[in-house]
Structure 1
Amino acid sequence: MLLFTSAFAQDKRSKGDSYFFQYAYNQAIVEYEKQKAEGTLTPQQELNLADAYFKTNAYDKASKLYLEAYKRDTLMGNHHFNKMLQSFSKVGNTERVDAFLATKSGQLEQELLENADFNRELLESNTAGELQFEIFNMGSNSPQSDFAPAFFKERLLFSSGRPQEKKKQYAPMGESYLDIYVGRIGPNGEVLNANPFSGIPQSDYHKATPYYSEALNAILYVLSNTENGELAFDDNGKNALSIAMQVVDGQFRLLLRDLSTSFYYPFYEAETGKLYFAANFEDGYGGTDLYYVYTNNGQIMSAPVNLGPRINSPGNEIAPFVFESSLYFSSDVFYGMGGMDIYKSNFEEEGNFSIPVNLGPGVNSKDDDFGFIMRNEGDGLLGYFSSNRPGGRGKDDIYGFKVDEKPGLKTIALRGKVVKPYDNDEGVAKAAVRVLDKNGAVLKEVYSDEDGNYRLEIPWREEVTLQATKDRHSIFTEKLQFLEGLDQKEGFKVDIGLSLYDDLVEEKEGQKVVKLDKFYFDRGLAKITPEIAKELDKVVEFVQQFPAVQLRIETYTDSRGGSSANFRLTQQRSDAIKKYLLDKGVPASNILYSVGYGEQKILNNCHNGAFCLEMLHKQNQRSLIVVLNDNVMFE
């Protein structure tokens, strides 16, 4: 009942096709198997047969047929690829799922692979169901399908296929065309006195998945496309669903309508003016994807925007619901617990989303779970969702729940930019950025993009170490601590500085030296002045960034003064430099020598007795920090 559209083909179909498109899957299997035995089953009909087995929970047979179609690689798109992986997962063949993911890793969205790894690790760790949910089946459920709950002041709207005296039958499902019902929410969360909702225009066909916007004072819902009171079809004989808005006691307006595209599950976010919905556009990532459009007082003001591969998958995504900076939705992507599972993703900066987290066994089951909503109620939260899990009253039932805090595993989303610390505008591409736990084990590793940006996400921990490395670059390490309750709306921004070794050294006098601006000691003195200290601090930072470096301090002077006195002075200056570096925390093991050369290496013609200008004498006054192991630093 999730994706309820009617299709009546104008071309010639087999008996198997007729049953398949009326959702009579068991009968379709019988007819398709007859065709297969006769050798008349087309590749498309073989995919239909696989889908029919999938719909009737015969996952082993479905997986074999999907695999045959995959090997032919003619008709199988992303949506059927997801179903194939779901089938393998259902029969416990996770090794084959991993093998297919590895084979197609270059063709699949990177976000899909990250989402899959994260959620599978999460579900295996048993940390997803830490919250204690008080879940109860609604007494107002019927033997038919009841789903898509929505808050309407102190009442609850929902969709139902229960029969009505004047409501037409929807032949493929054997139920009445869907309608919207309303009931009062009792003190314990039960829905009382459920009756057809009269606040929207009457129709003989589908009206479903309502959402009430207090800001618009309007009901948004989906309805069958009709013309003059009868179903309207596109050129291929398809009847789709539109989204309409009914202002309470006011105007009715169609918002989204396309005869070839179905729209589902509207949700209006008053803060941004965005109308979220699910739709089956042909250029999506799989079956139905989640989209939004910008609105002005409910009037559509933009083209649909796909929420992207962090949210949408090769499967079906439906039922968006925003609550306190988090997006809740349902998906039947292959790495979930069952059919449809409910996921939570946090909004981040610049329209990005955190990795969607499976809500786990507290809410999700091996069957379809979808249509999740909740609100603050007393000291906790009251919510509802739909499920076709065993033990219900009908095909889909609405379940209520109470919980003390927002469901969904807490995560840490780290993002930022890897830059050269001496040039913050220049990003460092392809740097390895990793998160380590308290014991030094790697929890997650990613690489910065071409602009130096990185993003990673892990389950919540009180303390982690962020580390970044790249060949011929410094190593970045920073310990991060997190407090419970810290706002994680936009993730934690941590910029990383990595220095390129070749930017910090240069060739001088036939040897590799630390790159410094030239500095001078006061005449006849070995005192470290503030100007000299500023340059020596660069050496301190250089050693911190490259702790394996081995240094020799060399100091020279000009030819003025006695030779012995110049030797003593330059030795005193080299020793003063060494002492400053040691006092600033440079390990003694990094400074192998400190040498004063006096006037041994004059760089120009200003030898003893020669007349030279002061500027020429100053060319010979210099200190060099020589890197002795430059040739083996990165071997």
Structure 2
Amino acid sequence: MKIKNYILVCIALMLSITMFSQQGKQKRADTLFNKFSFVKAAEVYRELIANNYNRDYATRQLADCYALLRDPNNASRYYKSVVKQENVPIEYYYKYAQSLRGIKKYDDSQEWLQRYKDSGGVVNANDFSKDINFITSVFGAKQQYFLDKVYFNTKFSDFGAFEQNGKVYFTSSRDEGVAIKRLYGWNEQPFLDVYVTDAKTKRNVDHSSKIKGDINSIYHDGPVIITKNGQTMYFSRNNFKDQIEVKDKKGLTNMKIYRATLTDSIWTNVEDLSINSDEFSTQHAALNSDDTKLYFSSDRPGGRGGSDIWVVDISPDGSLSNLQNMGDVVNTESAEGFPFINNEGTLFFSSDGHTGLGLLDIFGTIKNENEEIVDVINLGVPVNSNNDDFSFTMNQDGITGYFASNRNGGRGSDDIYAFHRVPTLQVEGVVTDAINTKPIPGAKITLYDDKGNQIAYMETDENGFYQINIDRDKDYKIVASQDKYIDDYRNFSSKHIQTELTAVNANLLLNPKPDVIKLAELNTIYFDYDKHNIRKDAALELDKIVNLMTNDYPEMVIRIESHTDSRGALSYNDKLSIDRANSTYDYLISKGIDPSRITEHKGYGERRLTNGCEDGAKCEEADHQLNRRTQFIVIKME
């Protein structure tokens, strides 16, 4: 009996020791998780699951670890188990939907997002569910961005590439050449430093390329932005003082933006900025085209949630003022970061709150005529993927630039990607009245390809303007039509057009439609050889014109053009044609036509022959007669 009791006591003791062991593991895992050491935390949570200890909780935590490590494959795998748990918090439906989106299971993602909403979850207005056709529209959009090779990525995290004056500045956790390696607990990689290399380099970059001066520290440094004159740098860095991290009330070390100046080719005089705080993060500096505004991301109070994009004015003395949140069009309840401003003042940024292809996506902004941001647009593939895409920058040429991504196929956790952009090409122009040169609103514009297939059509605006997107390296025909006018068209080509050009001009002129029956009476009149007097047959025709202008079209305005045949000297024929124009003009005026209704009476000599009867040609007299004429051009009908 005593032996039996002893055995039971031993078993109970062993179970107790095992339980306390598992409790200790969970406590350790939670501590690692709360310290953002997600790699190590995931290892312990997997052990807890294998030992079937508090399995549901450990599975939720493990799924969250992978989500925070931006690993949607593993995150979705464990969230799939989580959402089957009894009484699971409904936010895991949302997390599962996000992870499914990260592995391109968009239909399943929409299903779980709907379950989240049906269970009472609130989805912000900019959520990825707002447009069920979004994925199709992004992947089907005309590709503008094309990827180029980058030679200096490593197996570590590389991002934040920024090019200026032939140099590329970037942020990396590569640790080559470092004797003592300090690892960041979140992802078990070395801390970030700032590097610089030639923009056209085709070799890897080691520790010798770290930026010179006081920028790099023992903690995270970067990314950076530099003013146009190359003398001032703004950069992100962990908040620390006297080589010791400064923590907020939650025990976390936040990020700050610092400013440094270039002195004797060394970055020094590092300055803490007034927009920083120990209690929240401020990072990802960006400058506008004239360096008068500093954009950044921050989770400071007053934002919409997560981190927001903010902007502050930079005074000539360097002081910062007029802090503003970029507003609801840009910022969501989720995370926005990595702002960048191109030469045209367009804001680019990364977000996982706007409609995207995966996790973080890169977006551009759209402004109205008042320079107000009214919408954002996803840059589409290949800039964006089903993983994190961020730190977008564009070079001064507006065509090339960089971004970073942790998508499959890279060398490390985050890799730098170079791109060149082929901007959308447009055909544009103004449709005008050929007579009075006024723009024609509401004219129908039809675009055809080189096989005669209709590609697009639209109507001109109130200024007679039109604009249609076209492909490069193709031939086109564009036609303008309007009920009161004769159609006009132009053939044009988009072949061999420089990449920087974004528009092909194709203005179109429409002549008013005449009343064919009435204007058939505006016959050409003819003259005898070497004469300019009005013949009897010509007088009959001119009387018809007088009647037409007096009774049928009292507002009609015409132009007179007179000609000769080719015989005789060129200068003589010029004078003779002018005499014929004058005779015609005088006859009409003598019959009561207001001179203001004849805009011009001009002679063209032998310059506009109607046939091949040029000097030296053998022509019958009847053929020469056809060239000795006066014609009437209608300028205005009514």
Smaller-chain TM-score bracket: 0.5 to 0.7
From 214, 218, 224, give the equivalent of 2:228.
Answer: 214
- Alignment pair present for 1:62 and 2:79: yes
Q: Quick check: 1:16–1:32 contact (8 Å CA) kept in 2?
A: no
Structure 2 CA distance for partners of 1:50 and 1:69, relative to 1, 3 Å: farther
State the secondary structure of the residue aligned to 1:18: helix
In the TM superposition, 1:96-135 aligns within 5 A as: 96=111, 99=114, 103=118, 108-110=123-125, 112=126, 117=130, 121-126=133-138, 129-135=141-147
Q: Quick check: 2:362–2:378 contact (8 Å CA) kept in 1?
A: yes
CA distance in 1, matches of 2:80, 2:318: 45
Q: CA deviation at 1:368?
A: 1.5
Q: CA deviation at 1:246?
A: 0.4
Q: Quick check: 1:267–1:276 contact (8 Å CA) kept in 2?
A: yes
**What per-residue deviation string (whole Å, max 9, x for no partner) do you get for residues 256-310 of structure 1?**
4322212221112254722111122355333222112222147453364222221
Q: Quick check: 2:392–2:401 contact (8 Å CA) kept in 1?
A: yes
Alignment match, 2:271: 253
From 19, 25, 28, give the equivalent of 1:15.
Answer: 28
Q: Name the aligned partner's letter for residue 317 of structure 1.
A: E
Structure 2 CA distance for partners of 1:168 and 1:69, relative to 1, 3 Å: farther
CA distance in 2, matches of 1:81, 1:299: 47
Q: Over aligned residue pairs, what C-alpha RMSD do you find?
A: 4.2
- Alignment pair present for 1:232 and 2:242: no
Alignment match, 1:523: none
State the secondary structure of the residue aligned to 1:30: helix
Structure 2 CA distance for partners of 1:72 and 1:325, relative to 1, 3 Å: same
CA distance in 2, matches of 1:307, 1:204: 33
Q: CA deviation at 1:108?
A: 4.8
From 407, 412, 420, give the equivalent of 1:394.
Answer: 412
Q: Name the aligned partner's letter for residue 398 of structure 1.
A: I
Structure 2 CA distance for partners of 1:165 and 1:97, relative to 1, 3 Å: same
From 377, 384, 390, give the equivalent of 2:402.
Answer: 384
Alignment match, 1:321: 340
Paired residues, number: 403
Q: Quick check: 2:335–2:353 contact (8 Å CA) kept in 1?
A: yes
Alignment match, 1:289: 308
**What per-residue deviation string (whole Å, max 9, x for no partner) do you get for residues 52-102 of structure 1?**
2434433143266479799646xx5xxx88644313434441442562586
Q: Name the aligned partner's letter for residue 182 of structure 2.
A: Q
Structure 2 CA distance for partners of 1:215 and 1:123, relative to 1, 3 Å: farther
In the TM superposition, 1:33-432 aligns within 5 A as: 33=49, 37-38=53-54, 41=57, 48-54=61-67, 55=69, 56=71, 57-58=73-74, 59-62=76-79, 65=82, 72=89, 83-89=95-101, 90=103, 91-92=105-106, 93-96=108-111, 99=114, 103=118, 108-110=123-125, 112=126, 117=130, 121-126=133-138, 129-163=141-175, 164-165=177-178, 168-172=181-185, 173-186=187-200, 195-214=209-228, 217-249=231-263, 251-255=269-273, 256-271=275-290, 273-281=292-300, 283-297=302-316, 299-302=318-321, 304-323=323-342, 324-333=344-353, 335-348=355-368, 352-377=372-397, 381-405=399-423
CA distance in 1, matches of 2:87, 2:345: 39
Structure 2 CA distance for partners of 1:95 and 1:165, relative to 1, 3 Å: closer
State the secondary structure of the residue aligned to 1:265: strand
Unaligned runs of 5+ in 1: 1-11, 411-436, 439-460, 467-477, 486-635
Q: Name the aligned partner's letter for residue 62 of structure 1.
A: Y
Percent identical pairs in the alignment equals 23
Q: Name the aligned partner's letter for residue 483 of structure 1.
A: Q
CA distance in 2, matches of 1:232, 1:72: 34
With normalisation by structure 1, the TM-score equals 0.55
Q: Name the aligned partner's letter for residue 415 of structure 2.
A: D
State the secondary structure of the residue aligned to 2:209: strand
Q: Quick check: 1:310–1:356 contact (8 Å CA) kept in 2?
A: yes
Q: Quick check: 1:268–1:276 contact (8 Å CA) kept in 2?
A: yes
With normalisation by structure 2, the TM-score equals 0.55
Alignment match, 1:419: none
Q: CA deviation at 1:366?
A: 1.7
Q: CA deviation at 1:388?
A: 1.4
Structure 2 CA distance for partners of 1:401 and 1:190, relative to 1, 3 Å: farther
Q: Quick check: 2:93–2:113 contact (8 Å CA) kept in 1?
A: no
Q: CA deviation at 1:109?
A: 4.5
CA distance in 1, matches of 2:409, 2:83: 31
Q: Quick check: 2:352–2:361 contact (8 Å CA) kept in 1?
A: yes
CA distance in 1, matches of 2:361, 2:157: 18
Q: CA deviation at 1:332?
A: 2.0
State the secondary structure of the residue aligned to 2:381: helix
In the TM superposition, 1:513-552 aligns within 5 A as: none
